[in-house]
Amino acid sequence: MPRTPESRDPGARTPESRTPESRTPVAVSDAGLPGWLAPVADAARTVRPEELSSFLPPEDDGGRPAAVLVLFGDGDDGPELLLTERAGSLRSHAGQPSFPGGSLDPEDGDPAGEGPLRAALREAEEETGLDPAGVQVFSVLPRLYIPVSGFVVSPVLGWWREPSPVGVVDPAETARVFSVTVADLTDPANRAMAVHPRGHLGPAFLVGSALVWGFTAGVIDRILHLAGWERPWDRERRVPLDWHA
């Protein structure tokens, strides 16, 4: 990763055109995962929402349902995660690295059932061009809340069993598609606390030319910790969000 997306069959059935009758079940299985991914699968079985974030969904079931695909792959330099960078022209979270994902559409199905799984795979396909058939969903983490946007997000964990070409599909939505290795994410030299202009602090990762922060960094931080991959790092190190300047 990243790879150039292949051309698509113009007659192919898109996720938006699927009717409830045409939906196929999304299997969730941790069978056959590589050994290095087992700690993540084990942690996902028992993790409690409060272990992931202090921002939990409203008790009145408010918020907009959304899902992201936390996709692990086996890259040339070892285990890695697939990320995107949002286009700078977007109204929210412009230029911010993120997991592929977005809001649930009606055709995705029940937000309390398989809807988040379908949404995560659909959005990943729309944003990166990956083939969902090559992704093995092995777990779904508890739903988390993003107060600034009102999204209730389901992080869907996937193993890229059969990698396919990926790249920017719509430049108006995605600036780039890239991967980060788990080794870089766990390297203490790449870790810091991001300082928001309003003074908020949150975990961040400085990987290559990207500063990964916000919701995405928070989920990565918790996965590394719960999987036992985290290494001691300097939590007093501060990085402003305009760090390139």
* 11 confidence band (pLDDT: 50, 70, 90): very low
Could you tell me how far CA 241 lies from the centroid of its own chain? 20
Instruction: For residues 175-194, give the mean pLDDT.
Output: 96
Beta pairing class for 191-195 and 238-240 = parallel
Assess whether pLDDT exceeds 60 at residue 3.
no
Name the residue type at position 214. G
Contact assessment for residue 172 and residue 85, using Cβ atoms and an 8 Å cutoff: no
Assess whether pLDDT exceeds 70 at residue 103.
yes
* Positive or negative: CA dihedral 95, 216, 116, 133: positive
Assess whether pLDDT exceeds 50 at residue 4.
no
* 78 confidence band (pLDDT: 50, 70, 90): very high
User: Residue 13 has what pLDDT?
Assistant: 39
Assess whether pLDDT exceeds 50 at residue 180.
yes
DSSP 75-99: ETTEEEEEEEEE-TT-SSSTT-EE-
Assess whether pLDDT exceeds 80 at residue 231.
yes
* 209 confidence band (pLDDT: 50, 70, 90): confident
* 243 confidence band (pLDDT: 50, 70, 90): low
Assess whether pLDDT exceeds 50 at residue 8.
no
Contact assessment for residue 181 and residue 75, using Cβ atoms and an 8 Å cutoff: yes
Residue that has been written with the tokens 């995560």 in this structure: 120
Which pLDDT tens digit goes with each residue over 12-47?
334 444 455 447 789 999 999 999 999 999 999 999
The whole-angstrom separation of Cα 161 and Cα 182 is 17
- Percent of the chain's residues with pLDDT above 90: 71
> How many other C-beta atoms are found inside a 10 Å radius of the C-beta of residue 106?
8
Assess whether pLDDT exceeds 80 at residue 223.
yes
- The token duo for 74 is 């086996």
Cα-Cα end-to-end distance for the chain:
28
Among the residues of 48-168, which ranges form H helices?
Answer: 115-128
Report the 3 state secondary structure along the chain. Answer: CCCCCCCCCCCCCCHHHCCHHHCCCCCCCCCCCCHHHHHHHHHHHHCCHHHCCCCCCCCCCCCEEEEEEEEEEEECCEEEEEEEEECCCCCCCCCCEECCEEECCHHHCCCCCCHHHHHHHHHHHHHHCCCHHHEEEEEECCCEEECCCCEEEEEEEEEECCCCCCCCCCCCCEEEEEEEEHHHHHCHHHEEEEECCCCCEEEEEEECCEEECHHHHHHHHHHHHHCCCCCCCCCCCEEECCCCC
Assess whether pLDDT exceeds 50 at residue 154.
yes
Q: What's the alpha-carbon Rg for the chain, to the nearest Å?
A: 17
Q: What is the pTM of this model?
A: 0.88
Question: Mean pLDDT of all residues in the chain?
Answer: 88
